[in-house]
């Protein structure tokens, strides 16, 4: 926006430039007094209006500056609030991370403890099962060993009895062999045969005699 005072001053300067120089000095000019006074009165009349306008502009400027300052203060306050909020959120996040890490650490320790206890119990149960199985196998081993011992003893007794029977049979056959191979026993064995054969005719004579007697009767 152009200033009326500045425009009027420009007009006065143009007027002075158009005035003729004095005959006696180049630094002096001849002016029309009434026209110059008219320019000055115009300048005087527009000056208060211009000043009021500048005052209004100044007030507006001050209002604008005040408004801008308020807005700047509001922006700064909002920025500080957001900064504090961000710092608070950052602290909250850090605390949350720390709490989460603590919870994870506790959970990990609990899990390790549970796994350790479970492993220990499993090992205990396994050792108990192995011990129980070994006890059962020992019982079976004892039964089998006792059965083998008993069977072996009975078999030895049975074999001893059978050996005694065999020895007795062998002894009896030996005695019989001695009897069969003795000379007297051979003669005795032949005489009864001869007597039987010799006696058979006698029997026949007796039979014939008996028959004769029967016929005579």
Mean pLDDT of the chain: 75
Write down the pLDDT at residue 152. 92
Write down the pLDDT at residue 100. 82
Q: Report how far apart the first and last C-alpha atoms of the chain are (Å, whole number).
A: 212
Which burial class, exposed, middle or buried, applies to 110 when counting CB atoms under 10 A from its CB (0-12, 13-18, 19+)? Answer: exposed
Q: Which pTM was predicted? A: 0.33
CB 5 within 8 A of CB 40: no
Instruction: Report pLDDT digits (tens) over 142-183.
Output: 888 888 999 999 999 999 999 999 999 999 999 898 888 877
The position carrying tokens 């005695």 is: 175
Write down the pLDDT at residue 169. 94
- Calculate mean pLDDT across residues 1-7: 68
Among candidate residues 124, 125, 122, the one with its CA nearest the CA of residue 114: 122
Write down the pLDDT at residue 22. 67
- Confidence bin at 184 (pLDDT 50/70/90): low
User: Residue 50: enclosing H or E segment and its boundaries?
Assistant: helix 33-181
User: Residue 17: enclosing H or E segment and its boundaries?
Assistant: helix 4-18
- Confidence bin at 2 (pLDDT 50/70/90): low
Question: What ranges make up the beta strands (E) of the chain?
Answer: 20-21, 29-30
Write down the pLDDT at residue 50. 65
Instruction: Report pLDDT digits (tens) over 14-67.
Output: 877 777 776 666 677 777 778 878 878 877 777 776 677 767 777 777 777 788
Strand, coil or helix: what is 24?
A: coil
Token digits of residue 6: 């500045």
- Calculate mean pLDDT across residues 115-125: 84
Sign of the dihedral defined by the CA atoms of residues 62, 65, 70, 73, in that order: negative
CB 16 within 8 A of CB 27: no
Most confident by average pLDDT, 1-10, 55-64, 112-121? 112-121
CB 19 within 8 A of CB 31: yes
């Amino acid at each position: 926006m152009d200033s009326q005072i500045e425009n009027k001053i420009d007009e006065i300067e143009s007027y002075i430039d158009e005035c003729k120089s004095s005959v006696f000095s180049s630094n002096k000019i001849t002016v029309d007094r009434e026209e110059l006074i008219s320019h000055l009165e115009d300048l005087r009349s527009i000056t208060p209006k211009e000043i009021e306008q500048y005052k209004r502009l100044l007030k507006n400027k001050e209002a604008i500056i005040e408004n801008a300052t308020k807005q700047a203060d509001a922006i700064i306050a909002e920025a500080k609030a957001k900064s504090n909020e961000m710092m608070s959120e950052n602290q909250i996040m850090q605390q949350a991370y720390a709490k989460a890490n603590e919870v994870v650490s506790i959970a990990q320790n609990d899990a390790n403890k549970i796994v350790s206890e479970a492993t220990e119990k499993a090992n205990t149960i396994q050792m108990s099962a192995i011990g129980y199985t070994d006890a059962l196998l020992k019982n079976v081993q004892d039964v089998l060993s006792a059965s083998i011992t008993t069977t072996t003893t009975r078999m030895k007794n049975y074999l001893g009895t059978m050996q005694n029977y065999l020895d007795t049979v062998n002894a009896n056959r030996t005695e019989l062999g001695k009897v069969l191979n003795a000379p007297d026993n051979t003669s005795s064995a032949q005489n009864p045969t001869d007597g039987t054969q010799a006696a058979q005719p006698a029997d026949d004579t007796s039979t014939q005699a008996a028959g004769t007697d029967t016929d005579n009767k």
